[in-house]
Amino acid sequence: MVHDVEIRTARLRLRPWRIGDATFHHRLWEERDERVPARRHISADGHPTVVDLEERIRTYDSIPEPGLLVVEQELTEIPMGYCGLVENSVGQPDEPELAFEFLQEFWGQGFGTEASHAVVDRAEIIGYRHLASTVREWNTASFNVFGKLGFKSTGEREPDSVHGDSLLMRLSLR
């Protein structure tokens, strides 16, 4: 089920995915840091393709609410990233994970923090009591965003000598 959610901030609009976002989404896949696991990169045979990503958008299920939303600048309506809530990968279904990713040209301008604040505010309105997130220990920029939002390390760590350990972060709401 796709929720018809739109969230606005001073500079941003977060909206549901459209089929036309597949090209932008493909750019995100191409730009990912080399330390990110291979399953999150374009494979040697070129997958996912733009057509693959169009199909993912067509069949996207935005559970938990509000799901992952495309982030665009209010004035330009150019997609620059995504931000939202996804199912918790460590087994806490009532504690969704905050996830975000932006094209490199938009890094360092506060868009990740602004979009994430808006999603956290929406999560609180929906009634979630806690949010989680996993972040690779080398991802300083994401740690900065999580710190500004009030996320704290749980001390839980998923070791990965190839891609860097993942650390579990948690935010208590209300």
**Rounded to 5°, angle at Cα 120 from 80 and 150:** 105
**CA–CA distance, 155 with 55 (Å, rounded to integer):** 37
pLDDT one-digit tens code per residue, 61-115: 877 889 999 999 989 989 999 999 999 877 577 889 999 999 999 999 999 999 9
Residue 2 is predicted with a pLDDT of: 54
Residue 91 is predicted with a pLDDT of: 59
If 0-12 CB within 10 Å is exposed, 13-18 middle and 19+ buried, where does residue 130 land? middle
Residue 62 is predicted with a pLDDT of: 74
β-bridge partners, 82? 70, 101
Q: What is the mean pLDDT of residues 22-47?
A: 89
Residue 134 is predicted with a pLDDT of: 92
Q: Which two tokens stand for residue 13?
A: 């609009």
Q: How confident is the model at residue 125 (pLDDT cuts 50, 70, 90)?
A: very high
Write the CATH number of the domain with boundaries 7-172.
Answer: 3.40.630.30
**CA–CA distance, 26 with 14 (Å, rounded to integer):** 18
